[in-house]
Amino acid sequence: MNILKMTTGVALVSLFAAAALAHGGATGIVKERMDGMSAMKDSMKVLTPMMQGKTPYNAQTVRSEAKKIGSHAGESMTKLFPEGSDGKPSEAKSQIWQDWGSFTEIARQLEIYSEGLALSADNGLMASGSGHGSGMMGGKSMMGGGSMMGGGSMMGSGMMAGSPNLAQLSEMPADGVFMMLSQTCSACHTQFRSE
């Protein structure tokens, strides 16, 4: 048993050291954006179990974490990606600068969804029936059609066309808005981040 604990401990230390080393070589604007991405990741780690009903729902925490994400989105994000700031240790793909319009649109949507999440925090979770927004979708998908975004995937053409505005987001259950926010994060990572 002690060997297993020691082996597991060594493996974890090695994993954390490798992660620290990957970001450890970053300086300047690359380090600044990695720090911003880490802050958003930390907020997502707080929000995800809450949105899944695994931890108690707290509207104030949702608002706070959504605002943290929003502070790193939109123009705050795009200004950290000047041309030529790819290459190791950066995880940014050159696709960012080849398709700058899509990248800035995703950053803008992330900002809108994080603001929408903060506004919808008091609506509670649709899935658990908490808050005054429970059941308001009547069991249908968030935006009609066969998928949440009205028949197209987040990665499809016209990804942001037909996206809800802040007023609409503020009326939705928080977990619905969170789903849109997390899909936006995933879309950005899929297109623009090297794993």
Tens of pLDDT, residue by residue over 83-108, are 989 888 999 999 999 999 999 999 99
Residue 24's pLDDT is what? 63
Domain ranges, ordered by start, for the chain:
28-192
pLDDT band of 23, cuts 50, 70, 90: low
CA distances from 150 to 120, 154, 156 (A): 20, 10, 11
Residue 128's pLDDT is what? 59
In this model, does residue 158 exceed pLDDT 70? no
In this model, does residue 187 exceed pLDDT 70? yes
Mean pLDDT over all residues of the chain?
Answer: 79
Residue 118's pLDDT is what? 98
* CA separation for the pair 176, 189 (Å, rounded): 20
Residue 86, token pair as written in the block:
């790819």
The CATH code belonging to domain 28-192 is 1.20.120.10
Instruction: Say whether pTM exceeds 0.75.
Output: no
Q: What is the pLDDT of residues 27-60, one digit of tens each?
A: 999 999 999 999 999 999 999 999 999 999 999 9
Closest by Cα among 76, 107, 100 to 189: 107
Residue 194, token pair as written in the block:
């090297």
Residue 87's pLDDT is what? 85
- 193 DSSP β-pair partners: 92
3-state secondary structure of 56: coil
In this model, does residue 16 exceed pLDDT 80? no
Residue 77, token pair as written in the block:
């994000």
CA distances from 26 to 8, 69, 83 (A): 28, 21, 16
Mean pLDDT of 161-181: 92
